[in-house]
A and B are shown apart, each in its own frame.
Chain A
């Protein structure tokens, strides 16, 4: 599976008007295939602009986006093909549903790919399964379902294209905790079983810590920090200066260390912290 590479990417909105704004400034980033990456950053740090470059919805003002070693803007046909291979789920994707039935909405992407009926059916069922949409909902109108279900259908619509890269912009924003957990589980499952790259945009540190293999922190339109969760969360001061926090568990571990409890630095999920604390007491989890 192919890698993504961003080379000195720059994007300026409304160039030549009083509203001119540089959203991305010299971004260099490599996303190897199969990696689960969390893209973090404060509001306005350029996360959403960045991901819209990944599948060519935005054209860079300067710089290049390479997929599989080739510029994605080399031709119109190539760009359309890229859109099927890099699936992008927008923020609040439930507002993009339009078909009369759930099935047909999920089938929109696969149909645009020009697949046969049988292939479309296969893709739709697969996408629905990965996103946790029950087949009993296929004939319902997507506009009459609950917010959480709509979100799943929209995610299924992108997963149904079987993209090599799945990019999700705040997929759990505004959902209840149970809905958040299950959608994150679905995404992790898709990542594991298809081996595809996942780019998850979030500002929730706990989500990033528990899900991703690698974190990319953005600030002011540039990549400020990147590395494994351990590496990034070992620099809480820098994160705070960017308006971000470290995960709850990491903060707790830090507070405990300050009070003299001997704990390793690489703690950033509640489960791991609990395990360490229990092992110190010599007890087993109950």
Chain B
């Protein structure tokens, strides 16, 4: 069922990680990404891995949920692993027909696989612990300086929060329409590509119709409440950085510094 998609889902909770300011979390993710891609040695990779595991433990997100979300990416992970395993130059440790495996290849494969998994886990940690609304709020704040160059920051974040807000609604709606058409004997699971694509028509048409209807209704509702863009608009929940936020940012900067030091010294 579509409902079981976990990618980008929010798991409500009340942990340190959940309570952090969304801006802190967004910035931390950026700093973490830099650290992750800087890390090239065994020790630096271990450092970025252990710090993320620590953050996941703090968030009380079950490791099973993390792994479940990684399932769709299994192909990419394996593909990268194979490429790295067979196509890295270096001292050959095993040879079979056209393939050779090098010691460097094995090392790089492990690091690359870890890198992808950590990259994905890190974004999961962000979306699992931050509600979509908070996320766009944080993004709007962070992008504020761009307003100076006439970049429509508020409009963009409003569009993003509306889109995020409607993803679950539309998924639910798709589920409902699919069930309704299945009840009339529609068959989505058999046949070739063309037949399957055609079978989706009875789902897509009502879905588009309803999406337009919802957009219309939402626009009316917003106008009824005097929405007139971001100018002079205040918020019910203003974002405020706490001590924990500064400490978190400091922590990730230190991790980055540590990684750079390790890489510099060839670890």
A interface residues, Cβ below 8 angstroms from B: 13-14, 16-18, 52, 55, 57, 80, 83-84, 87-88, 90, 93, 95-98, 108-109, 112-113, 143, 157-158, 161
Contacts and interface: CB of A to CB of B under 8 A. Distances in A.
A143 B209 contact: yes
Contacts of A17: 6, 65
Interface residues of B, number: 26
B39 to A, nearest CB: 32
Given A18-B11, A83-B182, A157-B184, 10 more contacts: A14-B3, A55-B183, A80-B185, A83-B185, A96-B206, A108-B181, A112-B185, A113-B185, A143-B209, A158-B184
B4 interface: yes
Contacts of A96: 177, 180-181, 202, 206
Interface string B9-53: 001100000000000000000000000000000000000000000
B185 A98 contact: no
A90 B201 contact: no
17 contacts: A14-B4, A17-B6, A55-B183, A80-B185, A80-B187, A83-B182, A83-B183, A83-B185, A90-B180, A98-B202, A98-B205, A98-B206, A108-B181, A112-B185, A112-B186, A143-B209, A158-B183
B165 interface: no
B13 to A, nearest CB: 8
Main secondary structure of the interface of B (DSSP, over half): helix
Question: Which 7 A/B pairs are nearest by Cβ-Cβ distance?
Answer: A112-B185, A98-B205, A109-B184, A88-B183, A96-B180, A90-B180, A98-B202
Nearest to A17: B65
A18 B203 CA distance: 29
Contacts of B210: 95
| Residue among A83, A84, A98 facing the most chain B CB atoms (10 A cut-off) | A98
A88 B182 CA distance: 10
Nearest to B208: A98
B176 interface: yes
Contacts of A16: 64
A4 to B, nearest CB: 15
Given A14-B3, A18-B11, A84-B185, A95 B206 contact: yes
Contacts of A55: 183
A200 to B, nearest CB: 16
A84 B183 CA distance: 7
B206 A97 contact: yes
A90 B4 CA distance: 22
A219 to B, nearest CB: 24
A96 B64 CA distance: 36
A87 B183 CA distance: 7
